Chains A and B, each alone.
Chain A
Amino acid sequence: LSNPSPRQRQRRGKLTGRRIAPYLFLIPNMTVFGLFTIWPAINGFRISLYDSNNGRTFEAVGFKNYRRIVDDPRFSDVVRNTLTFVIAYVAVVTILATILAMLLDAQRRGRGPLRAAYFLPVVISPVVVGLVWSWMFTRRTGIVNSVLEDIGLGQPRWLLDKNLAMIVVIAAAVWTHVGFYAMILLAGLKGIPGHLYEAARIDGAGTLQRIRRITLPLLRPTTMVVIVLGTINGFQAFDYVYTLTGGGPVGGTTFIVQYIFERAFQSPIQYGLASAAGVMFFLVVFTATLINYLFGRRKEAI
């Protein structure tokens, strides 16, 4: 690069200069982001130290909201449900998305339509996903039990048994998101140089060996992205769960976002309590993401 001319140097100080222009481009986005995400988030922390049942009058209560949540036996159930769901969901969706991505990568014919088919659930409204799955798994009239009964397997209590309901919710979550993660992993697969496989083949490595020694290690950064996104996504699960099981049976699939929602928007409105739960939720997701990230980076370094 040649040295900047005096005129170019002068332009650096102006609005169109390199030092200022990027920030100008960022301002519109950051204003909206700051006003509707950062500022409310900061206020969320502040509200968690207050009691308010109308959003208009606030009474400072210190850490009372936090103490109440920690002492709430329902909250410990909610945390346990959430962790069970997130761990199972992330594990299943990562494995399935990886397999799906490899299959799609190897697919020669009909690649486009297949990808579209797997991606389709991502664009369906989560509320609709929840409703459709709830109709499918209703014990007496659901299509799943109609089929199972016809082949002599009886009528499992899908949405009436806590464990079965959890499995249905995890399955719905995986079905919804697997296509999205598979696309991310597919992009990762495309980035692995073909000559590595060629060399391995010449050295006599079988398919499984190639997957284990080349594909999976080189796909690790992308897999980490999927795990981090999946973890965040899992913790945030609400809409389709709410329409699928309503958090039931008897609280068996009530996750943390529903807990927050019910405290904030169902009578009696308790914005302070909801915000405190929101702050705790933020800390959990942040920690989980950080651990994932650090763990992934360490692995990468090895």
Chain B
Amino acid sequence: MGRRSRTLAAVVAGGLVAGVLGFAGVAPAGAGTTEPPPGTAAASGIDFSAYEGESLTYVYFTDGPDEAATRSLIERFTEETGVEVDLQLVPFADLETTLQAQLSGGDVPDVARVTNWRPISDAIIDMSEYFGADYFEQFLPGFAATGMGPNGELFAVPSDLTMNGPFINVDAFNEAGVDIPTEWTWDDLVAAAKEVQEANDMEFAVAIDKSGHRVSTVLSQFGTVLLGPDGVALDPAKAEAAITTLTDLMAEDAMSADFWLETGSRYAGANEMFLAGAVPVYISGNWQVGQFAENATFEWAAVPNPCAERCGGFPGGKYMVAFSGSDNPELAAGFVEWMNQSANQAELVAGASWLPTRNDLIEQGIEYPDRSEDMAVFIADVAETPEDTYLSLGSPAFGPSATALVEEIAFVVAGENDPAGAVETLVERMEQALEDVGG
């Protein structure tokens, strides 16, 4: 594209932005973001005294108990630094469009908590400018790598981690006389689940959230992941085996096929099914611990992920990013760094029932106020989880590929395709998704 046409495109783009905002239901403001000069580099930490009385906006999505924990940590930040933080809550589904609209409208927030930072990579700060090129060495290596840009930029700070894994209904297991698993294979899981289901006359044996992210756990256990740094990383034979395991369970009514089909392309969580005592084994993740502790009317426990070819679960990572268009980029970066200092992250993850992302915290463990032993099961699985799962999760095409995975499984469940055909279409769709995200 020549310079003139680029300028033309930029001019047109400015106008187009208004249109996009119009149909996004957001009032348009001016256009374009400004590149700020990088702040004064500091080897470690930021001198907050220069910013006393300033304020920061932090765009945040909440999964539940984490909001209070975040607010309380932010309060401490304000006490220590004199910098006010305005926590702007956004529903997760609107997070990306909100940030894009804010950026194109020139109403740039200072900091955000995101799951996918690549669509905004041109607008966020490289933390190495402030905290050195080795800053990310404090964090879980596989996860930290997914926060880095192509030239080693430290864009997205791994701020909290979730780990997928199974929960069991302990009462039902005891009733059936089936041992609580301390390690098990997929075959063990299916056999135990069916035995417990039968003994307790439960509706189903196994449940898993209708989510490509959760099914990625099964894929990983069968030895493959959707994506890698070089594009599609799926091993068709292994993926077929994983998908067949799930669809066979649905075909024999050990898993709910209705659950997979009735909600179309929408996400559906099977947590209510587990809480209602309709299923003894439920594959989800550590974020359920808080609400199960509050709502379950039976004894339950988190148990290790089952192994097939490999063990471990599948991670869900959130990052904190600071925007270069912020009024005080150095302050924004400093806030992100402060929130993820060892003691501060420990306080936050304990209150929020998250898993830590810092190596030192993973090593020493976290003292959770409630259900600490269940959280320990998930932390133990972090060590078991293969590194390629982080690369898959970190791929810019992970979101659409996970959606495609759910939809292709639905075709098999509905009898319109077989697992091999589903894998074939899935690969095609992932290639298209990679092209769409410019990967």
Contact = CB atoms under 8 A, between A and B. Distances in A.
Interface of A: 36-37, 39-44, 46-47, 50, 52-60, 134, 138-140, 159-160, 242, 245-251, 253-254, 258, 262, 264-271, 275
A45 B19 CA distance: 10
Contacts of A264: 23
Nearest to A134: B262
B104 interface: yes
B414 A267 contact: no
B9 A58 contact: yes
Contacts of A265: 24, 97
Interface residues of B, number: 49
Contacts of A53: 119, 436-438
Given A50-B16, A242-B264, A249-B410, 17 more contacts: A37-B22, A43-B18, A44-B19, A50-B9, A53-B437, A54-B104, A55-B20, A55-B100, A56-B13, A56-B122, A58-B13, A59-B1, A60-B5, A246-B264, A262-B265, A265-B24, A267-B119
Nearest to A44: B19
Given A39-B22, A59-B9, A139-B258, A269 B264 contact: no
B261 A250 contact: yes
Interface of B is mostly: helix
Given A57-B13, A58-B9, A40 B264 contact: no
Interface stretch (B65-73, B74-82, B164-172, B396-404): B396-404
Given A55-B104, A58-B9, A250-B410, A39 B265 contact: no
A55 B17 contact: yes
Contacts of A267: 96, 116, 119, 399-400
Contacts of B262: 134, 138-139, 159-160, 245-246, 248-249
Contacts of A246: 262-266
A202 to B, nearest CB: 58
Interface string B5-36: 10001001101111111111000000001000
User: Residue among B23, B203, B397, B438 with the most chain A CB within 10 A?
Assistant: B23
B433 interface: yes
B296 interface: no
A275 B23 CA distance: 10
25 contacts: A50-B13, A52-B20, A54-B100, A54-B119, A55-B16, A55-B101, A56-B13, A60-B9, A139-B258, A140-B258, A160-B258, A246-B264, A247-B264, A247-B265, A249-B264, A249-B410, A250-B407, A250-B410, A265-B24, A266-B400, A267-B116, A267-B400, A268-B399, A271-B20, A275-B19
A258 B265 CA distance: 10
B436 to A, nearest CB: 5
B201 interface: no
B120 interface: yes
A55 B100 CA distance: 7
B19 A269 contact: no
A250 B436 CA distance: 23
Contact of B20 (A47, A139, A247): A47
A52 B12 CA distance: 12
Given A59-B9, A139-B258, A268-B397, A44 B23 contact: yes
Nearest to B414: A250
A40 B33 CA distance: 21
B411 interface: yes
B15 A43 contact: yes
Nearest to A43: B19
B299 interface: no
B96 A43 contact: no
B416 interface: yes
Interface in B302-357: none
Contacts of B157: none
Given A46-B15, A55-B101, A268 B264 contact: no
Contact of A269 (B15, B16, B100, B407): B100
Q: Which of B12, B17, B19 neighbours the largest number of chain A CB atoms within 10 Å of its CB?
A: B19
Interface string B380-415: 000000000000000011011001000100110010
Contact of A248 (B5, B101, B120, B265): B265
Interface centre among B16, B257, B266 (most CB of A within 10 A): B16
Interface in B244-275: 257-258, 261-266
Interface in B177-214: 203
